């Protein structure tokens, strides 16, 4: 496995792959890898000839006062995990090369970036789109792999690729969860024991929504009310948002129909966790 820091060296390797006619898969991450990330890596290994995993904790997607400094970092462990999977290249670019002094260009996907998580994190998706487009320009992947865990992010990146005419297939893979239902996240490392238990309320409220929908409920308000009541019954939780939206424009639905995204963000103590479920109604 090749570990590359320099953008020029990365481009040179891509050039070599292209000369040999190899297809390229890209898995962008912020490191602190878990089975969720590895599910994307395995899919890339299976469906492309060469897999590049990027690890870059992107300051542009953290607002002042968020957890950029504390975000867990364990590059040696990450590299060991990726080596075991059989990844071809780990790309760990330097901050000063990605955002050199005088850096001024950002990518925005209007409207979609302002909804759901965008309400409490107004510059988050601009940061995500900017780094992902930069990585796409450097790596020129045929396919890129993202998790349904960050459903809004995946929808926005699919729109960016479509709007900017990029020839990149975005594959979105299912949420990987712990046995008790908690969606895997690098931020779960922040949770203390009692918080870890309280965090189960996210997935439980989604299972409740799924059950209500399976039993025929189509009123978004009724489902939201039950989810809110369930979450608020657990100490140490604070709802950032619970929304039931269509999974293309991310606009709130009154009556559930076709492709529905139930998405939520909840603070467990000081840790903000997200989770979601997507339901297709006929
Ligand atoms: P991150 O390192 O948090 O930026 O995540 C990198 C990629 O891994 C993103 O595409 C995430 O959606 C995906 N990911 C994170 N957690 C999970 C999970 N539990 N299951 C599946 N994919 C995930």
**Residue 67, domain CATH:** 3.40.50.620
Last residue of a domain, one of 149, 173, 197: 173
Last residue of a domain, one of 173, 207, 239: 173
Q: Is residue 152 within 6 Å of ligand 1 at its C-beta?
A: no
In DSSP terms, which residues pair with 252 in a beta bridge?
245
- Is 195 inside a domain boundary? yes
- Is 68 inside a domain boundary? yes
Last residue of a domain, one of 143, 173, 203: 173
Question: Ligand 1 pocket test: which of 85, 145, 149 has the largest number of ligand atoms within 8 Å of its C-beta?
Answer: 149
- Is 159 inside a domain boundary? yes
- Backbone phi, then psi, for 229, in 5-degree steps? -60, -40
**Does one domain contain both 205 and 253?**
yes
**Does one domain contain both 131 and 190?**
no
Question: What separation in Å is there between the alpha carbon of 281 and the centre of ligand 1?
Answer: 26
Give residue 273's pLDDT: 98
Beta-carbon contacts of 24 under 8 Å, excluding residues fewer than 6 positions away, are 14, 17, 18, 48, 49, 50, 51, 52, 139, 140, 141, 142, 143
**Does one domain contain both 204 and 259?**
yes
Measured in whole angstroms, how far is the alpha carbon of residue 15 from the centre of its chain?
28
How long, in residues, is the chain? 282
**Which is catalytic among the residues 5, 15, 34, 37?**
37
- Is 155 inside a domain boundary? yes
Q: Is residue 150 within 6 Å of ligand 1 at its C-beta?
A: yes
Question: Ligand 1 pocket test: which of 27, 33, 37 has the largest number of ligand atoms within 8 Å of its C-beta?
Answer: 37
Q: What does each C-alpha distance from 198 to 39, 203, 252 come to in angstroms?
A: 26, 11, 27
Tokens in use for 252? 């709130």
Contact 57, 85 (CB under 8 A): no
Is 5 among the catalytic positions? no
Q: How many domains does the chain have?
A: 2
Q: Is residue 118 within 6 Å of ligand 1 at its C-beta?
A: no
| Closest by Cα among 30, 171, 20, 46 to 91 | 30
Determine the structural domain holding residue 216 and report its residue range. 186-277
Tokens in use for 157? 């990146």
In DSSP terms, which residues pair with 277 in a beta bridge?
262
**Does one domain contain both 29 and 85?**
yes
**Does one domain contain both 28 and 164?**
yes
- Is 53 inside a domain boundary? yes
User: Where do we find the tokens 């729109």?
Assistant: 159
> C-alpha dihedral over 189, 190, 195, 200, to 10 degrees?
-50
Give residue 282's pLDDT: 85
CATH number of the domain residue 199 falls in: 3.30.1300.10
Tokens in use for 166? 């990029």
Q: What does each C-alpha distance from 268 to 113, 193, 201, 273 come to in angstroms?
A: 24, 11, 10, 7
**Does one domain contain both 49 and 87?**
yes
Instruction: Report the C-alpha gap between 166 and 82 in whole angstroms.
Output: 27
**Does one domain contain both 44 and 95?**
yes
Q: What does each C-alpha distance from 21 to 14, 44, 118 come to in angstroms?
A: 10, 17, 40
User: Where do we find the tokens 């080596």?
Assistant: 83
Q: Is residue 184 within 6 Å of ligand 1 at its C-beta?
A: yes
Q: Which segments in the chain show pLDDT lower than 70?
A: none
- Is 180 inside a domain boundary? no
- Is 111 inside a domain boundary? yes
Contact 75, 87 (CB under 8 A): no
Give residue 95's pLDDT: 98
Q: Is residue 37 within 6 Å of ligand 1 at its C-beta?
A: yes
| Predicted TM-score (pTM) of this structure | 0.98
Instruction: Report the C-alpha gap between 86 and 127 in whole angstroms.
Output: 30
In DSSP terms, which residues pair with 143 in a beta bridge?
25, 169
**Does one domain contain both 228 and 263?**
yes
User: Where do we find the tokens 């039993």?
Assistant: 215
- Is 81 inside a domain boundary? yes
**Does one domain contain both 158 and 204?**
no
Question: What separation in Å is there between the alpha carbon of 174 and the centre of ligand 1?
Answer: 10
């Amino acid at each position: 496995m090749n570990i590359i820091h320099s953008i020029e060296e990365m481009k040179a390797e891509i050039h070599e792959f292209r000369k040999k006619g190899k297809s390229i898969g890209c898995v962008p991450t912020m490191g602190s890898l878990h089975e969720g990330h590895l599910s994307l890596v395995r899919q890339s290994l299976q469906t492309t000839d060469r897999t590049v995993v990027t690890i870059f904790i992107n300051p542009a997607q953290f607002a002042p006062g968020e957890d950029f400094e504390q975000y867990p970092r364990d590059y040696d462990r990450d590299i060991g995990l990726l080596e075991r999977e059989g990844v071809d290249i780990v790309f760990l670019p330097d901050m000063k090369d990605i955002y050199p002094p005088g850096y001024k260009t950002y990518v925005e996907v209007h409207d979609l970036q302002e909804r759901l998580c965008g309400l409490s994190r107004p510059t988050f998706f601009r940061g995500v789109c900017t780094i992902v487009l930069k990585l796409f320009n450097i790596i020129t992947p045929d396919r890129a792999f993202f998790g349904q865990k960050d459903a809004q992010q995946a929808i926005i990146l699919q729109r960016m690729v479509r709007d900017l005419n990029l020839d990149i297939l975005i594959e979105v893979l299912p949420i990987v969860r712990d046995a008790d239902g908690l969606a895997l996240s690098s931020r779960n490392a922040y949770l203390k024991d009692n918080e870890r238990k309280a965090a189960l309320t996210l997935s439980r409220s989604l299972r409740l929504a799924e059950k209500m929908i399976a039993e025929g409920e189509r009123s978004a308000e009724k489902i939201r009310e039950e989810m809110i009541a369930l979450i608020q019954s657990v100490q140490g939780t604070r709802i950032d948002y619970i929304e039931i939206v269509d999974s293309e424009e991310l606009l709130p639905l009154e009556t559930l129909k076709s492709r529905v995204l139930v998405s939520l963000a909840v603070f467990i103590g000081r840790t903000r966790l997200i989770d979601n479920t997507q339901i297709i109604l006929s």
